[in-house]
Amino acid sequence: MVTPLDVAGLAAALIRIPSVTPDPGHSQEMLAGVLAEMGFDVVHLPFGEGAERTPNLFARLGSGSPHLCFAGHTDVVPPGAATWRRDPCSGTIEDGVLFGRGACDMKGGVAAFVAAASSFLASNPVWSGSISFLLTGDEEGPARFGTCKVLEWMQENGHTPDFCVVGEPTNPSVMGEVIKIGRRGSMNARIVVEGRQGHVAYPHRADNPVHRLVRILDALTAAPLDAGSQWFEPSSLQITSVDVGNVATNVIPAAATAALNIRFNDLHTSVSLGGWIETICRQHAERVAVTTECSGESFLTAPGGEVDVLRDAVMDVTGREPRLDTGGGTSDARFIARYCPVAEFGLVGASMHQADECVAVEDLQTLTRVYVRLLERMMT
């Protein structure tokens, strides 16, 4: 018989285990023990070597459909330089508020997943389908050996879910405001323009790469990339660095470099944007090198199906109809979207990555009830 878990106590216990990315601490070992006691088959899946070795955990109960997967991460960002009023790993509960790094992003969300499963199993001895957990220790870092590698393993071993819920903190101020059904893509580009070094008094003997780079950057930012689409806000190109490395005032430099980031919607791909950047650069410089790196393409899980089931569960518990949204940064949902429909719903994220990160215990309990209701709607 499964006993329902206290979500606040579980979240506090996770916070007390230091796990700054990519340091796993012992949080996954602790969760593995809890899940095993509940009857889950648990597999530890470390990927990568040396300093990049990333702890991951997959656990599943049941073998049929529908297969609902809860995905999240046990790593957290560092405490930072700001002064905390409480130890970041204290897991202190004061006046109904849980404090500590990861309280809302996202040890609190992970605790709600697990507590919801325990409550559902305790109240529903007969059910159909499968419940699984995908937990990584490298969401806040490079994310090279975390969720993306576990998903490959899941597919190879017959564990691809029918639907996945990521527990990132999606609500701006109160529970029930927002479900994320997609995310913009994110790509970085580096532009290096080669010139010919020379004396500033004799510019005809040199070729100033800075002038060419400035024209390139002006062309890239002259007009908006788009006006947005049905579910996405307009794409955004931001120049993040312009660097010449020239300490002399009388020397035309030999090269000039710029870096930029594009957060793009579903009207573009990283390939199409990379080609556009390359074309603009060639129009203004003969000797130019462009390199790009995409951390994730844009994706959208269309409303309907499981998204509506999740929305109904949120409405049942909170009394609010959540807005379907695609804003914000990236998350591991960008990897999951390649394999199955995915949506994100979690806690209030107002304090994430800040000093004195915290979450109301009542919100933890509300999120747990939402997940329980989702399980009931899908499995019974």
Q: Give one DSSP letter per residue of 157-203, joined into a string.
A: TT---SEEEE----BSSSTTSEEE-EE-EEEEEEEEEE-B-EETT-G
d(CA 311, CA 298): 22
Q: Phi-psi region for residue 158, left (φ > 0), alpha (ψ -120 to 50) or beta?
A: left
Smallest Cα–Cα separation from 352: which of 180, 171, 103?
A: 103
Contact 270, 304 (CB under 8 A): no
Please list the active-site residues: 75, 139
Taking the CA of residue 74 as centre, how many other CA atoms within 13 Å lie in the half-sphere pointing to its CB? Answer: 31
Contact 25, 17 (CB under 8 A): yes
Structure tokens at 186: 């994110």
d(CA 200, CA 211): 13
Strands in 97-99's sheet, in edge-to-edge order, are: 93-94, 97-99, 358-360
Helix axes of 361-379 and 7-15: crossing angle, nearest 10 degrees:
120
Q: Give one DSSP letter per residue of 77-100, joined into a string.
A: ----SSPPSS-TT---EETTEEES
